[in-house]
Every structure is written in C-alpha cells, then in structure tokens.
Amino acid sequence: MKRQRLVLILLVVLILTGIWHYWPVRIDVALDGPTAVWPSYGNDPGGSRYSPLTQITRENVQHLEAAWTFHTGDVSNGKEGIPSMTAFEATPILIDTTLYFCSPFNRVFALDPETGQQKWVFDPKLDLKGKYANQLTSRGVSYWKDRQSGQERIFAATNDGRLIALDAATGIPCADFGAAGQIELKPDAGDELWLGEYQVTSPPGIAGDLVVVGSAISDSQRVDCPSGVVRAFDARTGALRWAWDLAPPDSVDKQRPKSRAGYVLGTPNVWAQMAYDPARDLLFVPTGNPSPDFYGGQRDGLDYYGSSVVALRGATGEVAWHFQTVHHDLWDYDVPAQPTITEIEHEGQRVPVVIQPTKMGHIFILHEETGEPIFGVEERPVPQSIVPGEQTSPTQPFPIKPPSLVPHAVSPDDAWGILWADRGDCREKLEKIHFEGIFTPPRVDEPTLMYPGCAGGSNWGGVAVDPERQILIANAINLAWVVTLISRDKYDEVKKNNPHTEVVPQDGTPYGMRRDVLASSLDLPCNPPPWGTYTAIDLKTGDFLWQKPLGTVRDLAPLPIPIKYGVPNIGGSVVTASGLAFIGATLDNYIRAFDIETGKELWKGRLPAGGQATPMTYRLRPDSKQFVVIAAGGHGHGGSTLGDAVVAYTLP
C-alpha cells in the first residue's frame, strides 16, 4: 500500500511540474497527405515561403521533437584570430533527397534530410582574417538544372566576392564554369579599401539559364565605394550575359567615378534576396540607397533606383518598371527583403502582385506587371533638412493599406524603463533628441531620433503568404535609434571617445556619422515594448487580422524569466497548408509555431543557439514524416547565443 501511494504521489508531482510532458509519446502520423520539397530560398522562385504540407497540424504540433542536429563547426565571436563575428542566417534547400545549405564561413554542406548525416562538404577557403562589413554570413545557396544535359548545380556566393558552381551530386566545382568553377566578382565592381568591404550575403538569383548576383557593401564608409552593379552569368559557362548599372539611365556617361569595367561607383546595391516569375520573365530586385547612408548632398541623382523594388527582364536585365519606397533615403531604409510574388483576391478578381516589406514597417502591394499600388499610396509632407548642401524630398510615399507594422511616433511621455530612474533617464534623453516624426533628417552635431530604426520594421526575413487563406504573415522590429552627423573637425575625437559605438567617416562628404540604439543606462530600449511583433494581414482587405508580441526576454535578462515583452527578431517565417506559421528569429533561443488564423502560440522548441534564420519544411515520400528545419547559430551583432547547429524537428 505504501508503495502504491508513493507511485501515485510521484505521478502527481510529474504532472504538476511539467516533467510528464517529456514522457515518451506515440501519436498517429497521417500518411495520406501531400509530399513536397523546398527547392529555393523562399520555396518557390517568387518567395512565398508557403508549403502545401499538412502532416503537422494545429492539433499535433505540440508533440514536435528534435529528430537530428548537425554541427558545422563554423562560428566566431570576433576574437581568437577571426575579427568578424558570425551570423548563421541560412535557409537550407531540399532537392530530391539532399539538403543543401552554407555556413557563415561559406562552406557548402549536403546532408541526408531524414538523418542529418553529411554527404559532402565543399570548402571555398574563405580568408577569415578580413573585417567583413556585414559580419560573416550567408543566407543560402541556389539550385539549377541544365534542361539539355540534366546536370544539376548548386550555386554559392561568398563573403569575399566569388560566385561558385558545384556539382550537386558530389560538391566538386564545375570545371566548365568560369575559371575552374568560380568567378571573381570584385575586380570589375571596384577596388576594396579592405577585405570585406564588398560581400555577397544572399543566395544568387536564378532566372532561366542565368545566375544573377548583387552585393552587400559597406555603404557608410565613402562616396566612391564599389559599384552596386547586378550581373547575370550563363549558368553553364559563367559568361557575363548582362549587367545592370544602378546609376540613373540618362547619366551613366557623365563624369562619375567608375570601376575598371565602367560601372558607376557608390550606386545603390542589391544585398537582399531576389524573386523571379518565370511565366513573365520578370526578376524583382530590392535595392539599397546610394553611399553614404546619412548624407546625400553629393549624390547628384544616384537616388534614382535607390530604396526601390525594381522589375527587370530576366533575359536582358532591361528595367520593366520600378517603384521607390523612400525618396532620397537618408535613414538607411534600404529595401531589405526578398519581394514576394503571389496573387490576391481584389475587387472580385485575382490580381498578380509583388509584395515588398520595408524597414519603415510599410508593406507595398504592387501590381506585378505595372508596379501600380493595389491599395493606393499617398505622398505625404515630411520634415525637411537644415544641413547645408542637403536636398531632402518634400514628401514620402505612405501606403493607404496595409497599416504600418510598427509605430512611427514616440514622445518623452512614452519613455520606458523597468525602474523609475531608468524611465527618467529615457525621458531625459527623448527630451533632448531632435524628432519631428518618421523621416526626420539627421542634423550636424545634434542627435536625431530615427523611428523606426534602420534595423526595421521588416528586415531580410521578409514575409510569408498563404495563397489559399489569403493571409500574409510578417515579423517586425520596434526600436528607436539615434543618428548624428559629425563635423569633420570633430570626427577623430568622437571616434576615440566612443570605441563601442558605430562611428564611420562617410569619406568624400563634409560629415562623419554616429548611430546606435536609443537605450537607457541599463542598456534597455527607451521606447515602450513590444520590441518585436508578429502580424497577420488579410490580403483581400489589407487589414490586420491580428498582431502579437513576438518572443520573450528569457535569454536577454539577468534572470531567465520569459516575460513576453516581444523582442528584436532577425529572420522570417514559413507557413503551411495545415494553418501553421513557424518562426525562429527572436533573440530568445526558440522556434515557435502559431495558428495562422488566430495568432495563438501552439508550440515552441528550445534551440541550442539563436535561431536568426528562416525555417523550411519538407516531406520526401508518402511513407515518410514531415520535417521542419532551422539554422540555430545566433547573430553576433544581434547579441543572441552563438553556435553552429542545424536542427530538424518532426512528430514522434
């Protein structure tokens, strides 16, 4: 009797403490649903991040468990002989029965997708001693199949500016592509001041039989930084087929500084992922702003394609149309994310659209063939600059719908803090910082509030779209930043006195620049939470369905208390036909699943490091299970836990 009572007490304790949750569980896994792979970065070439899979449902997702974990070994904290930190931002792709992805050191891995066993690895021998402007990172690789020979290739682009073609079956460089399997991108784009000023951080675009690359450039350093030219190469031979110089179309021949190949220096660049519609042969590219970021008095028209979504003819590189999301961008509000191609139900018709999220929290929904806004856009008056030589735009475009993902106003009365003194510190700072609302231009030697900050709103994670439910899912950052233009005679002193703050020269202009997050003396944000949100938008109406705080301070606070303030997030979502949205991204170490229709959090899985990446999902065969996979290696600049893991989840 005593033993029975002891067993009963033990069972009660297990249930009450939650340990019972970890007891082995067996559930029925449906085998009658669809199978699907994940052949490109956003699953389809248009970047919807939508999967037709239904095996993992809203009813059984709570039972997900880790099936396998793979470690790349490639991680850096910015010390120990590697001066750049890593950010493991890759989304794997799945072709047939092989999972492909790249590490922050640009090593390309091929794994068995059901066991995580390595099939092959290719090492490009990246020089890790460079000071890479955008950290050591790579968001993925791309796949291409030769319709003539049947040969399959994996294309990877590197932090040190190379485009590499690998045999998909073996990982061996394709000898007939470029020079022994690779092309050097930097010499023709312009000379670097240091190794790492010019990078390629996103997977190459694939447009038919062309492989297309842009670049990520340290664009606050100097006026004449390397060109942002976008180039298309023959996927078989590596021969250059076209190049799109982002200088204004009527001024390429003006007396501007050019690279050895004739591309204008200091132009906008394309660092985020591209999207492609093969039916219309339209390649959509999101552009950055000209260099430098925060002073544009010497751009002389280089803003023409800046901070825009541009539709190019895939075969020729000819511009079909472009839509500018920010005029004369002085806030580093470059377009940060892959455009998403889909169809929406609008006024009783199915309309082809391209959806472009932005750092301002604006989402522009444009007709795919013309660039015309579907829900309308208003040009509204904005604050003007008093900086000598500056040429501010009198208005900026605001979409009528959807609403902004993040607020655009903050005042001293909104100052936030966990303690009275902390809140008072923030209030005092907000009272002293110049701010007239969104698009307040920077001032010289006077701090200016930038809200939203240049990290977002949206960032490179982009949005996911359920085309059947007509629902868009977007995560966003809500942080205020402070920017100051620095008189040239004060620059050295400011640089010396702020060793842990971003202070850059903007060479070739009269002013340097300083920027950082607006934070209290306790290093907490001064604007009120949530600092990260998750939002669903009804694409038929343009209205919010729901918006929730995303993430907790579990891995940011001195004590691991999961307060749901909503935290900064870097990465994106995948949505499934079963009505689920999966996302990592947050600075706490979790991957989560949400009900796409209600926003209810249904499951979360603990990651070994920060999940600052976009997950993907697949199911190989009718007799196999559905997997959800995410890179968990953290983000050096974001401050999350660093690591080197790829984790796959499935039902038990």
Residues noted as catalytic: 332
Q: Which residues contact 398 (CB under 8 A, 6 or more apart)?
A: 362, 377, 378, 379, 380
* β-pairing verdict for 216-217 and 616-618: unpaired
Q: Which residues contact 359 (CB under 8 A, 6 or more apart)?
A: 332, 333, 334, 336, 452, 454, 455, 456, 457, 458, 459
* β-pairing verdict for 590-595 and 580-583: antiparallel
Burial of 470 (0-12, 13-18, 19+ CB in 10 A): middle
Q: Which two tokens stand for residue 600?
A: 């209810």
3-state class (DSSP) for residue 15: helix
Distance CA 577, CA 119 (A): 31
Strand partners, 646: 70, 631
Inter-residue contact 168 to 153 (CB < 8 Å):
yes
Instruction: Determine the Cα angle at 276 with ends 378 and 152, to 5°.
Output: 165
3-state class (DSSP) for residue 636: coil
Q: Which amino acid is at 159?
A: N
Strand partners, 604: 592
Inter-residue contact 645 to 612 (CB < 8 Å):
no
Q: Which residues contact 399 (CB under 8 A, 6 or more apart)?
A: 362, 363, 364, 365, 373, 375, 376, 377
Distance CA 329, CA 472 (A): 27
Distance CA 327, CA 403 (A): 20
